[in-house]
Each structure stands twice: as structure tokens, then as C-alpha cells.
Structure 1
């Protein structure tokens, strides 16, 4: 049943007029799109305080300048002359006590900030639990503690992941029980140290430390936010932009992208999973738009709102369809390394290992021998090792299928004016996969190849 939201006469852009926001993770993929969209579509916004880590021999101002030189900011630079004045770098790091922010900067944030977007996270799947806890859990706790000191009772937006609750086949827009209590996690870390076997007992069917710590953090935010209006955004697999700021823009090989490219090139010909499984993709601009709108429409609420930025519940696309598109596009642009790329899906480990060895590793070995004899650098065995590692790392996700509900997200979109729906599209129902998947491939070809 579709939820109903009260319509507001105030536009999303009007909400941000005269306000200042604080953004963590603004130098990351989603963070850059969020930063660009705020500057472009909420032009009356006062300041964007951007948490930036200090790097050796590179000042925060120089890092910010380097960010603005990327293609994603092209339209802002040409159409929003005062964009530089609006962005204020704040030296800090979510992994440090008090975010590593000076007292002077902390005081300014406490005085002026009305909305906090906490996007920063350690997204490595197999980071040691102690490290992942310090960034993903403690980092969020530090940001939330700063929010509690802000005078304007800011809206706190926490960007989590839809895969924090993979122990459920249907993932709804609610807070789930934590896989463990964080106090018990610290007790286990103190008791067992780096004993991976003992530590994994805490995960409660989570596949890695990233999803585990994100699940812990969601529960902590829900329990400890006090009366701060709070929004949790759960993106699924974040993929290139559908429309803005550039069609198909992407700047990293994370998520499903590298595996799909390997399949398109013919370097990966068998994979664990089923062709009929849903692979939940969501364009990065859809996540950014939902994040901005959800914060604006949280105004006046002292509750907790959860939105899944996902496609499988409303507009699913199968793993097989995505692979076929990447193979087709790769052949069309003549970017396949191996003739006649194809993909086989299997649920059997013995078959996966046997076929991988016969049709991938053996040909790669002979191809490298030929390159070596021709005086060229061997490359195919190394590429096969990468393909096999990707297959192993993502096997948990490719062999399963979830239905990620997004009714609240769709209801929020339906509550917007026609103008805001046009300016901030994020309804997954509106994605036409046969049109978007070639955009995905073209984005990879344009910005990563």
C-alpha cells in the first residue's frame, strides 16, 4: 500500500535558501554528485562546509580545487559563478577523535549548520573489524555527537547501505534489530584480537565487515539520535548517473562495474549465481536527489525516516540482462579482449572452478606465452587472477536475490510538486533499463577506459 505524504508549498530549493550544511565524504563518488547538485539546484544555499582530510604537501584548498577540476563540476563552473565562495573546507577525518576538527571550526559548525549529510564511510568489504568499526561506527558516532551540539537542531542524514540487512530476503524501510550489540563487539575485539574465526561469529549472516558495521551503526543512530530529526538513506549498488550532472558519469571501479566489464571483455565466462537473480542497481544521481529531498522534507519532524534507494522492489532488472547488455556493448565498440564473449551461470562450486580453469586460465596462460615470445608484456594470467578474485568477493551477492522495498521513497517522490519531481528525480519506477544500461556502459567507456 502506497504511503501518503502531505504536500508542502515550499520547494526543495527554497528549504535550503539561506541555510548552511555540513557534508562528510564529499570527496567520494556519491559525495561529489551531492555537492554538485546542492551547488547547482539549491543556488540560494549559504555555505557548504566540507570535511576534507589533510594530505601531505596538499592543502585542503588545493584538494578542493582539484575536485572542482573534475568533469562532474563542469556545469556548476559555467553557470554558478559564486560556487567557490559557497564551499568551505574543514580539515578533519571521521576516524579521529572529535573528527580531527579544530575548536574554532567546530564552533562555527555548531553555530551555523542546519543540515548534516554524513556520507563518509570505509567501503572496503574485508577491512579488519577494528578498522571498520573506527570509521563506520565510531565515525558516525562522532558526527552525531557534533550534531547534538549544534544550536539549530539540524536534520541529520546518514547514508547507510541496503546491504546492511542481507539476512532478510525482503528489506523494508524500517530499522532492523542489530546483528550484535556494539559493546559486545568491543569485548570480542579485546578478547580475540585478530582471530577471524571468533570475530565472524558476531556477524549474524552478514558477509563482511562493511555490511556488519553499517548494520550496527543504523541501530545506534536510531537509538541515540535523541530528538534530532534523522533520515537514513540506504542505497543499493550505486552506478553511473542517469541524467545529472553528466549522463553516465562515474569515477571508480567499485561495486559491480569491474566484474561487469570483465564479463563484457570476455575475461570472465562463468560466474556463481543465476541469470534470473535481481541485481539491484541505482544511479548515483537518484541517490543524491533522494538524499537532498529527504532532508528538506524531514523539516519539523522529530522522528526517524528510512528510505531505500533501490530498484528491485519496484522495477527489477536481472543479472542476466545486465551481463548481456555489457557483452553486446563491448562487442559493438570492439572493446572485448577475447572473441565471442559469453557468460555461464552456475550454483555449483566444482563446476565454477573446473570451467574457470579450462576456459579462462589455460587460454590465458597460452596467450601470455604468445605475448612473451612476441616481446610483449604478459597480461592475461594476471587479468584472470583479478577475475577469479572478483568472482570470489562478490559471490555472496551474485548467488542471492533480495527484494528491496521502496514504497516510502516512491511516496516521498509522489508528494513533490511537478517542478521538484523534474529537478530531483529519484523514483526507481522511472528507470527504463533497456535505455539506461547502454548509458552505464558508455559512462564506463568514457570516464574509466
Structure 2
């Protein structure tokens, strides 16, 4: 059992009672959020509106699509179940959402002059959440959104008259060549100069790109590291916060327990194992897979912005569990097995996940345990007059698993000292409203919520 330390009243709690509450910081202020249509961005939007009742406006960047009606696009966004409590309890606050049309890949974000003026005159807090998170994306497209897009947002911030803080949501894996990651900015100046020079060339050579990655797993990680460096070097007097989440998964409690909106990353792999279509994982079973519920990420970001101090230094927060509540691949597999047993699912053998750090062994086991059964099942469907489908499913499952091989075959420790100190600045009421440090996370309870969320929000669709 895991026990919470957040219910013990300490001297820090007593002192925190006399500081400004998180909601009070946002009262009367306007916020600008990028990436609001994404998984994490939706949670930011809902949490700010629901908990900070006196917030003035929340400007959201929406990609400009010709012929699309503004109202319909917002309606589609708010149709997500993540906004259910806000719509049922305080529907009037939805009117605080102000869409501005633009494009992360364009200079000045593709914003109209009118929208730029509104943002420049009214916004105090910026949450830059938008990113190209495709781990298979090439270097040019990753840099377009993650690096150049970030530079456009920062330039806009420099023009904002009321700017108090710029929060950049990065990734814990942007410097993954190190095994212990601290809450600091790592230098990449030489890498940045080399990449920018290379992008001027008309054609990108795969071997040269691999050299530019310098041990990182993909262009996503490199582009996020370079964006961090750019912001750190060019923020001027704007207070800067970097939030570095690890692998973001479904919500723990808010706004809806277990909420998840897409088969991406770890959720895709976990669902495949849960449903028995993936039985082989490349990696050591004792490796720690750093998972973090999405509501911890949004809460940490919102709290960090409210506690920012003017400084030339960038404040970095690792939003991770490896140094606080680590969970191994073996323990994750055990959670999945337990779920199957509790659900009394029928199977000939106890559902098992095979781990190996040898790629040839992974290939052989995948063929025997996944491909052959899928081929046989498709043959049965074909001869009974039904459309084969299992080999197609296997192709997607194996491709999705292979994208994550780097993360399952390695193990890191992400230090969270600054995040722990941030928790001590909160009053007891704000600790309850904004749980942002996962020391209170109970994996047994959480995974039940997570698996329920996968069933309810993804598989039922």
C-alpha cells in the first residue's frame, strides 16, 4: 500500500495558509493556451476554468481551416467528456473561452492583426502546450512545430504588455542520453547551430540525421531540447518555466477519473497487452517505465505559473514518478494480469508478457506468440465467409510497440526536487485542489481507474 504524505499538517502548511491562493493569482487575468485541442491541452483549459472562477478570459489557439464555422469547432472541442462537470455546474464560464485562429508553423502564428492586438493587450499567462508528438516524424517537420513554433510564441510573448510568465511544456526525454536527469537546462548550443545549418539543405540524409540526434531516440526529443535552449537564451525579462512530463497517461481523478482520448504512446501499448494482442516487449522487465497521469501535469503547470518569481534563470520542473513512485515493466504487466483475472476473462493460459533485451528473441517470440495466431485466426475468418482483420491489427500493434522500444529498453531517474518544494508553498486547500506531486499516487487504485478509462473512453467507441 502507498500512503499519502499530503494529509500531514506541517510547519510549511501553516506558513502556506498565509500566501496567495492559486485561484487568486489567476483572478482578473487572461491566459493564452496553445495545443488546446490535444489531450493535455483540454485538461489545462478545463482545470483553469473550473478551479479559477474569477479568471477573465482564456484565449485558445485554433488551427485556421477555411470554411469551418467558429461555433462548430468550439462545440466539437467542448463535446469531449472532459468538460462534462464544467458544462453541468458552471456552463456560463464556457463563455470565457476566446478562440483565435492561427497556425503554429507560421510566422506570428498566422494570427490576424486584430487577434495579435488582443493577446498583446490582455494576456498575462501563456501555456505553450502545442507540439508535434509523432515519434516517427522527420527532423524537418518536428523542428517546424516544436522549435520554430515555440520561437514564434516566445516572440509574441515579448510584445505582451501584461506578461507575467511563459510556461513551456517540454518532455522529460529531451536529454535522454543521460540516465539521471535533473531539473536544469542542459546546453545544446553546438547542436542547435548544426541542425539549423543542416535544415537549409534541400534534402535530409538519414545517416546525417542520426548523427545529429546524438544518441536521442527521435527528432521529437531533439527538437524539444533545442526549443528549450532557444527559450532559455532569448526570454529576456520574461519569467520562464519548463514543465517536463514523462509518459503522460489518463487522468487520475480530474476532471473525469481515467479520462483518455486517444490510442497514443503507452496507452496504445498497454491496451494491446490488456487485450492480448501484444505479448512481447523489448526490454528488461526490471526497467522503470515512467508514467504520469495527465492531471498531475496540468496541476503542476498551473501551480508553477502562479508561484513564479522574476528571475533571469529558467525554472524547471520534472513531472515524473521514477524518483517518487517508480513502477517497473514487470509490475505493470502484473497489473494487467490482475485486471484480466478480476474481470474473469476466459483464456486457456494465464495472460503473460514476455520480455527480452535481445532483438532476435523479440522477433521470434513475436512471430510465434502474435503473428502466427493472428494468421490462423484470419484463415478461419476467411473460410467462414468473414473479412480477415487480425493480421492488420498485428501490423498496427507491432509498429506501435516498436516506436516505444527505446523507452521500454532503457530506464531513467528523473529528479523532482523543485516539484516537491513547490508543493510546500501551497495551502491545505490548494493541495487538495491541485495535486501536483505524485507521492500520493496509489498505483493499484490508479491502474483500475486507468483500465476502466480505456474501456469507457476508447474501446466503447
TM class by shorter chain equals over 0.9
* Pair 1:143–1:311, CA change in 2 (3 A): same
Question: What CA distance in whole angstroms lies between the structure 2 residues aligned with 1:97 and 1:120?
Answer: 15
> Displacement of 1:136 after TM fit?
0.3
Question: What CA distance in whole angstroms lies between the structure 2 residues aligned with 1:389 and 1:158?
Answer: 30
**Secondary structure, aligned partner of 1:164:** coil
> 2:308 — aligned with what?
298
> 2:361 — aligned with what?
351
> Displacement of 1:227 after TM fit?
1.1
> Is the CA contact (8 Å cut-off) linking 2:250 and 2:293 kept in structure 1?
yes
Superposition pairs of residues 2-13 of structure 1, within 5 angstroms? 7=16, 9-13=19-23
In the alignment, structure 1 residue 276 sits paired with structure 2 residue 280 = no
> 1:238 — aligned with what?
248
Q: Flag structure 1 segments of 5+ consecutive residues without an equivalent.
A: none
> Displacement of 1:59 after TM fit?
2.2
> 2:327 — aligned with what?
317
Question: What CA distance in whole angstroms lies between the structure 1 residues aligned with 2:119 and 2:34?
Answer: 13
> 2:181 — aligned with what?
171
Query: Alpha-carbon deviations, 1:116-166, whole Å to 9, x = none?
Result: 000000000121211111100000000000000111133100000001110
* Pair 1:13–1:192, CA change in 2 (3 A): same
**Secondary structure, aligned partner of 1:153:** coil
> Displacement of 1:194 after TM fit?
2.3
> Is the CA contact (8 Å cut-off) linking 1:180 and 1:203 kept in structure 2?
no
* Pair 1:264–1:190, CA change in 2 (3 A): same
> Displacement of 1:299 after TM fit?
4.3
Match of 2:423 among 387, 407, 413: 413
In the alignment, structure 1 residue 444 sits paired with structure 2 residue 454 = yes
Question: What CA distance in whole angstroms lies between the structure 2 residues aligned with 1:337 and 1:175?
Answer: 49
In the alignment, structure 1 residue 26 sits paired with structure 2 residue 36 = yes
Question: What CA distance in whole angstroms lies between the structure 2 residues aligned with 1:426 and 1:27?
Answer: 22
Question: What CA distance in whole angstroms lies between the structure 1 residues aligned with 2:159 and 2:346?
Answer: 55
In the alignment, structure 1 residue 263 sits paired with structure 2 residue 273 = yes
RMSD: 1.8
TM-score w.r.t. length of structure 1: 0.96
Deviates more, 1:255-264 or 1:277-286: 255-264
**Secondary structure, aligned partner of 2:177:** coil
Query: Alpha-carbon deviations, 1:168-212, whole Å to 9, x = none?
Result: 100110011227432321221234722111122111111001011
TM-score w.r.t. length of structure 2: 0.93
Query: Alpha-carbon deviations, 1:62-108, whole Å to 9, x = none?
Result: 21111112111111112223222211000011111110001111011
> Is the CA contact (8 Å cut-off) linking 1:239 and 1:281 kept in structure 2?
yes
Match of 1:194 among 201, 204, 209: 204
> Is the CA contact (8 Å cut-off) linking 2:191 and 2:212 kept in structure 1?
no
> Is the CA contact (8 Å cut-off) linking 1:61 and 1:89 kept in structure 2?
no
Question: What CA distance in whole angstroms lies between the structure 1 residues aligned with 2:214 and 2:174?
Answer: 11
Deviates more, 1:352-361 or 1:204-213: 352-361
> 1:137 — aligned with what?
147
Q: Flag structure 2 segments of 5+ consecutive residues without an equivalent.
A: 1-11
> 2:136 — aligned with what?
126
**Secondary structure, aligned partner of 1:90:** strand
* Pair 1:169–1:328, CA change in 2 (3 A): same
**Secondary structure, aligned partner of 1:120:** coil
Query: Alpha-carbon deviations, 1:310-336, whole Å to 9, x = none?
Result: 000111011111122123324544668
Question: What CA distance in whole angstroms lies between the structure 2 residues aligned with 1:124 and 1:239?
Answer: 16
> 1:384 — aligned with what?
394
Match of 2:118 among 94, 99, 108: 108
Match of 2:385 among 375, 381, 391: 375
Deviates more, 1:147-156 or 1:337-346: 337-346
> 1:252 — aligned with what?
262
Deviates more, 1:163-172 or 1:146-155: 146-155
* Pair 1:217–1:340, CA change in 2 (3 A): same
> Is the CA contact (8 Å cut-off) linking 1:119 and 1:159 kept in structure 2?
yes
